[in-house]
Structure 1
């Protein structure tokens, strides 16, 4: 898998965290670089840690299913992509920015709440890590890309949510899902020899 493909997958995976970061920014009374950094650190760490776990789970079965590994990658990436697109149609940030009063806003960044959010946004990355094992991806490079891209986009997401509200959330999830479906399809078509790029 090329560096560009890894980067594109990292962007696709980070869209879930970006969407939740928008919601978190929407709910904050005031944001600061420190608060945005804490949110981003949670999301970036979990988003890069889950593929690592998935990778080590996947290599346990790698030798047993090499003849269908690209089909598994296609199915997993396609499923995750479709799920993200379906989720983009549901509003997880149901409160419009105008309806939030100062009492409604929550600056809480407690460990329990942030860990639950970070795990929820990174479960898909676990499945992608399994596909990385089948595709013999450089896992250190992959998790670094995913972590850095997620951290950066989460910082941006917190700011967008605080300033603009949930306007871009569903578009981000839809785009991320579409990216993963396209990458899964490309991997399969490359494996079948139907395309060569």
Structure 2
């Protein structure tokens, strides 16, 4: 696989994670670089692991993963988005900086939701002569950079829209999930 193709694959796989990170950054009261780097690292690790897992599953799980990956991603992203919207309507959630940063498991779940497509890509790469570790590293590094930038971009968005930032973040997550379903159901045909 050509290095440019690997880079483009890494950027493509990190696009939905970037959108989710913008929503997360908008929902955070005052994200700092430490928060952005932590979120980027978690997303990057999860995004790097999933194509390796998909590659290991290979052709045996190919049909099952491809048939359901978009619905799994939609479900996880929608649940996280609805949770963010719910929190926005309850006392103190938008103004409480500690309550909007998200724990390790919440961030990892969001990372998993946006990396289900990388699992399917990994399955497809099992049939191609490619060094999966190089591809996974490229996907992970691209995701790390894009998510870190997304959280900080969301910070600016959060300042502009104030208390509605958490609602916007939740809506963005749901829209990313819906876009994944749309691409798999309507565009892929």
TM-score by length of 2: 0.67
1:55 corresponds in structure 2 to 51
Q: Which residue of 1 aligns with 2:131?
A: none
Name the counterpart of 1:144: 141
TM-superposed CA distance for 1:124, in Å, is 2.7
Aligned-pair Cα RMSD in Å: 3.4
Structure 2 residue corresponding to 1:186, chosen from 172, 183, 187: 183
Question: Counting helix residues as a fraction of each chain, which structure ranks higher?
Answer: 2
Cα distance change, pair 105–83 in 1 and its aligned pair in 2 (3 A)? closer
Q: Offset at 1:105?
A: 7.3
Paired residue secondary structure (2:47): helix
Q: 1:161 to 1:16 in 2, by over 3 A?
A: closer
Q: Given that residues 74 and 178 in structure 2 are in contact (C-alpha distance below 8 angstroms), is that contact kept between their aligned partners in structure 1?
A: yes
Q: CA deviation at 1:51?
A: 1.9
Q: Cα distance, 1:162 vs. partner? A: 6.4
CA contact (8 A) 1:77 1:180 kept: yes
Normalising by structure 1, report the TM-score: 0.65
Q: Which residue of 2 aligns with 1:174?
A: 171
Partner residue, 1:9: 16
Unaligned ranges ≥5, structure 2: 126-134
1:82 corresponds to 2:68: no
Give the total of aligned pairs.
168
2:25 to 18, 39, 42: 18
Structure 2 partner of 1:67: 63
User: Residue 169 of structure 1: SS of its match in structure 2?
Assistant: helix
3-state DSSP of counterpart to 1:166: helix
